[in-house]
A and B are shown apart, each in its own frame.
Chain A
Amino acid sequence: MRRVVFVGNPNTGKSTLISALSGRRMEVANWPGTTVERISAEVEAGSETFRLVDLPGVYDLLDESPDAEITLRELVENPPDVIVNVLDAAHLERDLHLTLELMEMGIPMILILNMVDEARRRGIEVLPSKIEEELGIPVVETVAVKGEGLDELLSAIDRAAIPVPPVHYGKDVEVAIEEIASKISHPARRWLAVALLMGEERDFFPVGASLKEVADVWRERLRSEVGDSFLYMEGRRISTARGVASRVVFRGKSRGMIQEKLDALLMNPVAGPVAMLLFLILAFRFAFFLSSPWVEFMGTLSRVLGGWLLTAGVDGMFASFLIEGVISGAGTVLSFAPVLFLFYLVLGFMELSGIMARMAFVLDTLMSFIGLPGKSFAPLMMAFGCNVPAIYATRTLENFRDRLKVALMIPFMSCSARLPVLVLFAAVFFPRNPVPVVLSLYLLGAMVAFITGSLLKKLFRDESPSIFEIPPYRMPDPGLLLGISWSRTLEFIRGAGTIIVAGVVLVWFTMHMHLYGESIYRLVSGGMLPLFRLMGVDDWRLVGALIPGFVSKEVIIGALAVGFQGAEHLSPIGFVEGLSMIRDAFLDAVKGSVEAPALIFGIPGFRIPPVELTLGAHLSKVLTPAGALAYMVFVLLYTPCLATVAAIKQEFGGRWALLSIVYQMTVAFILAVLFYKIAVLIHG
């Protein structure tokens, strides 16, 4: 089976091509050892099977981005059988730059002119036969989204040949290249020799230290001739690309781009940010309202499973362990899944459609205050819905430090799971103006995030140049979009799932294991109480609820209710009864999803269920308004949930996950105490 890798500039349609070639049966996985997602598929062509692999989009193999390093490393360490170089026909000249480099790698290669539909609309006609003549390798035109040219692509793979390197670097330099290349036994010897002469090296280059010295000597010797060898070689590639492009590209009249009108709105300095904000809010409300009926469905599902266990005669400690530990743990994980899936759809749509780049454009100034590119606004906004996908959404940023910075800011953005807690406390303790109180808390969270960003800006210093491409508006391929979102969701269930279940089980143990006649849970909460007294919280049950709240904020109210009112007992459920409960819950969820679009434009009401009102009465006996405010501030700012921690660990490693927990706890504690003291000062 031949390995065929797809290489090209970002956004040229590599993933869409593989998805289309495989009949949308592609796999999405992370590139080994990284969080870079790539698509691959096995495709049969005639009697042969190809393994198609998507490499990260790069502008140049020597670019210093992590994506470029992955691609280059793969080509050097694990040379494929065939390179499929994908180009955007609309800007051939720029894209050819990479092509010319790839042609020095000594690997059989074909060229794909994708997006010819778009190029034509802009009056650009490229002649594939002419490029074939110029470069001597097969060239195929495709429109990946419409599936045009796919058969030709597959048959061209058979005609792939090792290219003759097209760039000539001048007589003297060629002598040097020849000499260095003759000492390299790797197929990419010419490319490697050129790279060494440009003064570039990577630890994975298959060349010895002595050869590097030889190259350095040559570079010095050539200096009088060509000046800075790096710029000189780049210059030769540029002029070769320009020469080829000038002979194969024909420009007619552009039929105009519809996008100008949309750009006038979305990229307007005033209307743009407003429109983007509205779009984001609507998109996330859409994801939220569409998924919340399914969250309820998951709740019913785990209650029925628990009931069945009781009916089946599993009881005592073990039943409690299975029901409250394992099932509710898995339920927590699964209830995240629909939210995540929809968030990923929205995010993926924004990225693939070109909307994200416009958003980066209008918000670039704002984000530059905290040393971040404009794009980083999206994960931060997303965090208002749910922090977990927001952490994964940092993947859209290229620079590791930028990603980390955003990931440390995200947990302070109040997610939807914190809202019920804030609403309950605001309604009970500030009955005259609960809404302003909740909104101010949201603002506080955003401010803490922003301050975190500014601090990190000082700490990290280096600011990567923010240059980005604004692709034309495009309709994303639905199959690709669904495939990517689905595989990202699965990845979450696998990765974060185990940590969450482990956390829930651990909390269960602390509640049911006893020391000196008291549950560990009670002892720990009691032990931490003196700290919380500093913020006017003087009841162990309030402190205790924060422990499962660390696993997920959704359960805080439940834990408070159990603490103050005693647990609600699961009751046995018959098999048939359970099935009909699941069916009803399913139908409700379907109905809820159908009604969701209508809710998007509505204003969320602060509606408090009656059960929580009696809880409110209990709470008002043990807390003053000042203490309640401090408690809300703490809940707002302390570690959002174990899933977020797991996501940070998956993306950045355990050390950063731990550091972020410590940081959030410290900030939450200090600000809660501060707010308490100030509130007491003002109100006596």
Chain B
Amino acid sequence: MPSGPLTLAELEVGEEAKILSIEGPGFLRRKLIYMGLYPGTTVRVFRKGPAGNPVGIIVDDVLLLAVRRKDAQFIKVRRKG
């Protein structure tokens, strides 16, 4: 296992993490920011779709978003508790 920073795509259902940074192409980065995914927010994976895709997350306990795994790879996170 490479020990680079963890990404949102690797979190299991039920795990909570804080977003450290958002990478990837500009248009994707913007889209994520506009939808409410930006550094500093807390995300919890609450459910995954069939075959683990998409990833369903709750942002800051209130906002439910669905992100495809390949987009979630660009979201670097730090696991909480």
Contacts and interface: CB of A to CB of B under 8 A. Distances in A.
Contact of B68 (A94, A97, A122, A467): A467
B15 interface: no
Contacts of A649: none
Interface in A72-94: 90-91, 93-94
Given A361-B54, A364-B53, A364-B54, A469 B34 contact: no
Chain A contact patch, size range: 35 or more
A584 interface: no
B78 interface: no
B41 to A, nearest CB: 8
A657 interface: no
A261 to B, nearest CB: 13
Contact of A60 (B34, B40, B50, B53): B34
Given A267-B47, A361-B49, A465-B68, A122 B54 contact: no
Contacts of B32: 467
B53 A467 contact: no
Interface string B47-58: 111110110100
B10 interface: no
Contacts of A93: 36, 60
A63 B29 CA distance: 11
Contact of B56 (A64, A270, A361, A472): A361
Contacts of A465: 27-28, 31, 68, 71
A59 B62 contact: no
A273 interface: yes
A90 B62 contact: yes
A59 B36 CA distance: 9
Which residue of B28, B53, B63, B66 has the most chain A CB atoms within 10 A of its CB atom?
Answer: B66
Contacts of B29: 231
A254 B28 CA distance: 32
Contacts of A365: 49-51, 53-54
Nearest to A360: B66
A469 B38 contact: no
Given A269-B50, A368-B53, A465-B71, A471 B64 contact: yes
Contact of A467 (B26, B51, B71): B71
Nearest to A228: B26
A440 B44 CA distance: 44
Contacts of B66: 357, 360-361, 364, 466-470
Nearest to B56: A361
Contacts of A677: none
Contacts of B64: 469-472
Contacts of B48: 269
A547 interface: no
A20 B47 CA distance: 35
A374 B56 CA distance: 13
A464 B54 CA distance: 14
Nearest to A119: B62
A323 interface: no
A315 interface: no
Interface string B18-39: 0000000011111111111010
A234 interface: yes
Given A91-B36, A91-B60, A467-B32, A368 B27 contact: no
Interface of A: 59-60, 62-64, 90-91, 93-94, 97, 122, 124, 230-231, 234, 238, 242, 251, 254, 263, 267, 269-270, 272-273, 357, 360-362, 364-366, 368, 374, 465-472
22 contacts: A62-B30, A63-B30, A63-B34, A64-B30, A91-B36, A93-B36, A93-B60, A94-B63, A124-B62, A230-B26, A238-B33, A267-B47, A270-B50, A357-B66, A364-B66, A365-B50, A465-B68, A467-B35, A467-B66, A468-B66, A469-B66, A470-B66
Interface of B: 26-36, 38, 40, 47-51, 53-54, 56, 59-68, 71
Given A91-B36, A364-B54, 12 more contacts: A59-B35, A63-B31, A64-B30, A91-B59, A94-B35, A94-B59, A269-B51, A361-B49, A465-B31, A466-B66, A468-B66, A469-B65
